[in-house]
Amino acid sequence: MKKYLLSTLALSFLLSAGSASSALAQGTMKSKSDDEKTKTTENGVTTKTKVAKDGKVKVKGESKDGAKLKATTKPRKGSDMKDMSMSGVMVGGAMMTPDKDIVDNAVNSSDHTTLVAAVKAAGLVETMKSAGPFTVFAPTNAAFNKLPAGTVDMLVMPENKQKLTTVLTYHVVPGRLMAADLKDGQTLTTVEGETLMVHRKGNSVMLHDAKGGMANVSIADVVSSNGVTHVIDTVLMPAK
């Protein structure tokens, strides 16, 4: 019976730990107490699961004849958590991975075809594929669509290459700035030379441009081999 209990408990432990960790990571688990507790009985084996706020999971099992077993798992910490967060981020229907550079990741996003076309028109592909590192605030296609009609077509004309370059480099900051590095009231000096102002409320990050516009970061910390990209919902405009 003890062997049966061990097998049942092991399966319960794996399922409980996996689902609990996933729920904690996504912020979907709710409880009126500090810890989340569940109790199930199946085939004569009662299993109690307790998930603490720090992610530690404890599972205890007891059969109807009194055989007992217990196990505990702890959440990953430090570099292990960093490795998990850097495994890849889905953007525009594609997985952005840290082994690719900023451009090679961006070309796979269906939400950034306008941005990629603009980078090519400005002749900035090789620059953005260089060692960097760079922090890129990447407007989506929908962000470009919010500009006045004809703006994008005008910017990608050969005679407007300098203006296009100015707008694009206003979205790039030297160095690798993760979302956690962006503080409320912080001023960022862009590659273009002008500044962006960071506004932060909890986990929400916004950027104010030189013309008073504001962009929200919709997807943060898209790590590439030569920097990091933050997806934004509005095109940032320099004063020039």
Provide the pairing of β-strand 134-139 with 227-232: parallel
d(CA 141, CA 125) in angstroms, rounded, equals 18
Give the pLDDT mean for 69-85: 46
* CATH match for 79-232 among 3.40.50.150, 2.30.180.10, 3.30.70.20, 3.90.1150.10: 2.30.180.10
Give the pLDDT mean for 88-116: 91
Give the pLDDT mean for 167-184: 94
pLDDT at 186 over 90: yes
Give the pLDDT mean for 55-72: 61
| Each residue's pLDDT tens digit, 18-33 | 444 443 333 333 333 3
Task: Give ranges for CATH 2.30.180.10 in the chain.
Answer: 79-232
Answer for the pair 164, 114: CB distance below 8 angstroms, yes or no: no
Structure confidence at residue 38 (pLDDT):
63
- Least Cα distance to 101 among 82, 119, 121 occurs for 119
User: Is the bond leading into 148 cis (omega within 30 degrees of zero)?
Assistant: no
- Least Cα distance to 192 among 131, 127, 148, 103 occurs for 127
pLDDT at 140 over 90: yes
Structure confidence at residue 82 (pLDDT):
43
User: Measured between alpha carbons, how far is residue 18 from residues 12, 93, 143, 147, 221 in Å?
Assistant: 10, 25, 37, 44, 24
Structure confidence at residue 240 (pLDDT):
78
Residues with Cβ within 8 Å of residue 181, at least 6 apart in sequence: none
Answer for the pair 9, 45: CB distance below 8 angstroms, yes or no: yes
Instruction: Work out the mean pLDDT of the chain and round it to a whole number.
Output: 77
d(CA 95, CA 92) in angstroms, rounded, equals 8
Answer for the pair 9, 47: CB distance below 8 angstroms, yes or no: yes
pLDDT at 98 over 80: yes
Greater model confidence, 132 or 129: 129
- Least Cα distance to 20 among 52, 62, 48, 61 occurs for 52
